[in-house]
Structure 1
Amino acid sequence: MNTANIDNIVTEHEALIQFLYLAPVGLVQTAADGAIAMINPISAQLLMPLAPQACLDNLFDALAGVAPELRHLCASFSAPSGMICEGRQIFLHPDSRARIKRGTPEVLSISLLKLDAHRLMAVIADVTEQVRRERQLKQADAWLNAILTNITDYAVVGLDRDGNVSAWNDTIGRVTRFGTEVVGQPYSVFFPDGGTTDARQLDRLREALANGWNLEEGPRLRADGSQFWGSAMISPLPDSGALHEGEADRAYCMILRDISDKHAAGAAAHSESFSDTLTGVSNRRAFFDAAAQELGRRRASPRATSVVVFDTDHLKSINQRLGAAAGDLVLRQLADRLRATFRDVDVVARMGGNQFAVLLPSTDRAGALIVAERVRAQVAALPGAPDGSMIAFTVSAGVAEMDDDANELTALMERAEQAMRRAKQQGRNQVAGWSAADDFQLPQHAPQL
C-alpha cells in the first residue's frame, strides 16, 4: 500500500472520529460483552449519572440499574449481525422534579446494532419530551377509538353518583352475561378479584367529571366467571345537573367493550415496551408510569399507598456456584411468586439487577407488611430440585407507606430500600418496615452476597 493510500485512510478515519464526537445523538461502540471501545460526549453525558462509582467502561454495567435486560437481550441475539433492538425506551427518574433539579433526562431511547461477533453499536438519545407528547396523543387516539370502532359490540351501563349500576339493559347482558342482579352493585362487579379498589373506582368518576371522560383497559369479568379484555369509558351525563361535587342527581354512563382480539394483536408490542424481558413482570418504565398516575390520584383524594422492595439474598453466591443461568432462574421464580401473590391492581416490577418493587394502592403499612411476609415465607419454603429446575433461595424485603414527609415516589422508594437494607443487615430472609431511625443508622449500601 503506497503512502497516498495510507494518508487517505488516516484522513477518512479522522473524519469518522470527528463525526462520532460531533453527532447530535449518543454513539457508543462496544465489545460483545459491553466493554466500551469508543464513546462520544453526548453518550458520556447521558450515561455517567447511571454508571456505578462513575466508572463508565461497560455499557451493560452502566445501564444495569435501569435496563438489566439489555445484556441478556444481546447475549441471546443469535444472528451474525443485525438490529438487536430499536428505540427501546428506558425510564430513569420517577418524578419530573428530579429531572428539573439535576438537569438529567427522564427517558432514554437506545438502539443496539450487532456489527459482527465481536462488536456492538449503540445509539442513545434523550426522548423525555417525545414520550410526553406520545402519551397525550395516545390518550386522544384511545378516546376516538373507543367511540368509532366496534360500535355494535358494547354495553351501555348507567351509573349513579357513587358508581353503582342504575339499570339493566340488553347490551349489558350481551357483553357481560349479567342479569338484573347487577342493579345497585358497584361497577367493580365487572372486575376480577383484585382488579380494582373502592378508591380507584371513585378516582375514575372524579377524572371523568374533571376531564369529560375517563378511559381504562384491563381484565374484565363475565357473570359465568370467565374473563375478557375490556375497554371502559366513563362519561358524566350532561343532563344530570351541574358537574360539581355535592350534586345529588349526578349520573354517569359507562361504555364497556370486549376488545380481546385487538388486545391480543398488540400484546407483543406492549410487552416489549413495558415488560422485563427476563421475568415477564413490569419494567421500570411501566412501574413509574403507573406510580405517577396513582400518586396523582392520591393527591386528589388522599388514601394509604405503600411500596415493598424485594431483594434476593446471596444471588452473587448462587451465580458463582451454579452459573448465571441459575441466577436468572432465581429471578424468574421470585417474579412468579410475586405475580401469584399480589392483586391485579398492584404494580409488580423488576427495577434492576436482583431488585423488585411492588406499588400497593389503598394499602397501609400494616397491610403491606402482611403480604410481604407472605411472599418471604412462600419463597423460603420453595424446595430446590436436584436437576436444577428449581433453586432454593430467600429474599429480604422493605416496606414503606407514603406520608407527608415522603409524598413523592422517590422518597417512598428510598425509605423502602432503607428498610430492605436493614432486613439484610439483621440476617436476611426477613421483612422490615421503614422507621425514622433508618435515615440515621443505616449505611448507604448493605452487603449483597
Structure 2
Amino acid sequence: MKRSKTPPAACEEQVRQRVRQHAALFREGDDPVAFWESLCLELADCETAECPPPETRQARMQTLFMSLRTPVLLLNADFEVEVMNPAAVALVEGDRMDAWAEGTHVPVPLAELAPWLAAPLEDHRQESSEAEACRMGVAVSQKHGERHYNVSVSRTSDFSDRHDGFAVVLDDITERVEGERQLAEERNRVAHYLDVVGSMVFALDAAGRVTMVNRTACRVLGYEERALLDRDWVDALVPDEQRDEVRDCLYMIFSGQLEDEDERFHYVTTREGEHRLVQWQGKLLTNEGGLPVGLLLSGTDVTERRAIEEALAEKELWLRNTFVALGEAVLILTPDMKILDANPAAETMFGMTNEELDGLPVGDLHVNPAHYDDFLARARSAFEAGERAVFELPLKRRSGVIFPADHSVSIIDGDDGTTLGVVNVIRDISDRKHAEAELRRSEEKFRRIFESIEEGYMVTDLEGTIMMVNPATCRILQYEAGELVGRSIDSLYRIAEERGGFRKTLEAEGTIRSRQMNALRKDGTTIVIEANAHLVRNHRGEPVAMEGTFRDITRRIEAEKVLREREKQYRAFFENNHAIMLLTDPKTEGIIDANPAASDFYGYPVEVMRTMSMSQINGLSRDEMFEEMRRSMDEGRTYFVVKHLLAGGEVRDVEVYSGPIMVQGVQRLYSVIHDVTQRIRLEQDMKRLATTDALTGANNRHQFFSQAAHEVARAKRYDNPLSVIMLDIDYFKSINDTYGHHAGDVVLKVFSETARTALRVNDVFGRLGGEEFAALLPQTGLEEGLEVAERLRAAFAALSVRVDEAVISFTVSLGVTQVRASDRDMEEVLNRADEALYRAKRMGRNRVVKG
C-alpha cells in the first residue's frame, strides 16, 4: 500500500509549526546542539515517513539554521570557520552574512574572527589526544559590556556525513551569570553576617529540613556544613527523648498555634554525642500569600551558664539552709544599720518575729545609746583595719531582760568595693559565765580538733575549671583563693597519667574514694594527697560539676615507715615491762594482747586473755563505769579507779591509765594498770577516822556540819522539807559520877547504835560533843519529825544497859525544828532546835519539844 504524499506547501507549513513548538520548549541552560539535534531527528523521522524531496529538506534546515538566535559556527579540521548563522556573524562582527550562512564564504581561521573563542578551543584540542566533544564557559568583552557564553563543541559526524569538522554552539548565559553573581554576593553577605554572629542559625524549609546553617552552629555542634544540609533538623540534632515534643512545637509554629518568636529551651546533640542545652528563638518565613515556607532558628548554647546557675542556686540554698539552721542568732544589716533579715535563732533570742525585726534599727536591741555607740565604734575600727570585729557587749530582749552576748561583725563588700551590708552574729553567753574554766577547756579541745583537720575541699566544672576552694586547700597548695578559682585543675597534677585515670574513673563510676596521687604546690614542690571525689548532678541526674576533698598525706607516708620501726620497739617494751599492760579494741572491748605481767596479775595465760573481753575482768556495772568516767572528768584525772576480777575470784582495786594507739593502721586502746587495793583501803580507813566519832561511830561534828550544809542547800534549792532533831541524855553526868566513865562510854555507844538503827539510811546522825547529838531528816516535815523524835525517845527509855554487875537505864530530851527559807545557815537551825531541847529539859526532861 502506497503512502499518500503531503503537498509541499502543507509539509513546509508543518515543519515551521513544529519548529515554533519546539523552540517554545527551550530553557536557559539547555545544550542548543542537543536541543536542536532532537528536533532534527524528529524531522528526519517525519521525512522518512513523508519522503519529501531533498530540496525541501535542505530548505527546511536552512530556515531553521538562519532563524536560530543562538550563534552557531561550523569549523573544518583546521579550526577554520566555514559556516555561521546570522547570530554568529553578529557576534564576531563579520560581514557578508548570506555568504557565511550559505557556506560560500572563504574559510577564515577562528583565531582571526574570534580569538577569545579560539584560544580555549585550541587548549582543549592540545590537551586531548583526539578532538572530542566538550563544554566550556567563555567571557567576551563587547562595546555594551561583557557577555558570557556556554560553549558546546561536537564533531559534525555526530549529526551529518562529514567527519572532519566541528559544530560550535554559543549559548548566551550573561543574564544567568549576572543573576548568579548577584545571588552569590547576597548569599555571601548573609552568610558573612550569620557567620560572625555568636548564635547558632538554622534555616528550615516547610518540611523541617535544613536549608542553611552558619559556621557558629557547625563549630558548636562539631559538624561540617554539608553533613547537616538537607537533613531533617529534629532527627539530626534533637535527642530521642525530646523529638516528639520538639516536632509538636514546630508543627504548632507552622500552623500558627504558637508564637514563633517566643524563647524556648531544649537540648541538641553534638557530633560527639554530647547534649548541649540551647536557648532557641524562631522566625516563621512566609511567601507573598502569607503561607509558611520555612523557619529561621537562632540558638545560644547556655549549657555552662545553666550549670553555673544551678551550682550557684545550690550554693545559695546551702547557705540559706545553714543560715536558718544556725544555733547562733544572725542579723543581716543594711549599711545604715537596719535589720534586713534574721534567722530563727535571732527570733528566739530577742523574742520577736522576723516581721517585727525586719526594718528595725539594730540600735533598738542594745541596752542604751552609749552601748550602741560602743558597738559602732568597735565595728568601724575593725572594718578600717580590714578585719572582722569580735567583742562582747550586752543586748536586751523584747521583754527588757538584758543578757551578755558575744558579737562577730563582718562587712559585706561588693565586687566594686562598695559596702552592701553588715553581718552580725550573736551568741547568748548567759549560761557560759558560771563555767568559764570548763568552757575554756572545752573550747581548747575543739580548737585543737578543728586545727588538726587538714581536709581540702574543691569544686570544679566538668572541664576541670576550679569554681570553689576552702582555706585548707589554699594552705595545702600554698595558693591564694583568687589564684585557684578559674584555674584548670589539670595544672595541679604532678603526673599526667594520674590526671587521666582520675577523670576517667570519676566519669565511669561517679565517685572516687581514697585515691593517692601526686600534686604540685605553687612553689613547684610535690606532695602526696589522698583524694575523694564525686560528680555533682542536677535534678535530671546529669553531671554538671565535680567536687571532692583531699588531704596531704606526705608526712603520713613517711611516718608509717617510722611507725613500723617503733612498733618493733613497742613490742619489746610491752613484753618486758613489769607494769600490767593491756591492748584492747575500743569498739568491742575485746583484749587484743596482754603482757606477761598482766597474765601473772589476773591469773590467766596470755593466750586465754587474748580471747577474753574487758567485761569479764571489769567488776563495775555499766552505770558504775559511766559514773566513774564522769567523776574522772570532773576531777580532772587522767585515769579511772575501777575494780577488776582475778581468775580466783578475788576483787582488786586498780587505777587504769588508757590512751589511743595506732597498731598496724588500726586504732587500739593501750592501758597501763596499777594495783591500788592496799592504798585505797588505807585511804578509806583514814577517811573513816577523820569523819566519824571514835567512841560512838557516829559522824563527828565537822562531818555532820559539812553534810548538814549540803542538805540545807539542797532542801532550799528544791523546796523540800528538812527536819532537825537535837538529842541530849538526861543526867548523864550522874551516870559518870555513879558508875564511872567506862560505864558512861558504854551508854554513849548503846545510845548511838540505837539512834542509827531507828533512823533511815539517808538520815544524817552525828555527835556534836559530850552527850549532845543531832539528826537531820531529809524529805521530812516538822510533824513527821516530831513523830520520829517520839519513837526515838520511847526506844531510849526502854533500854537497860548492863555494865559489869550494874544495869543502867536513862532517858533522853529532844528538840525538833524544821529548816525555814529565812534561815541563813545551819547554825540558825541548830540554835532553834537547841532552844527547844533546853525547854524540854526545863519542862522535866524525857520529852520532845517543837522549836
Under a length normalisation based on structure 2, what TM-score does the superposition of the two structures give?
0.22
Q: Looking at secondary structure, tell me which structure has more strand per residue.
A: 2
Which structure: larger Rg?
2
Under a length normalisation based on structure 1, what TM-score does the superposition of the two structures give?
0.39
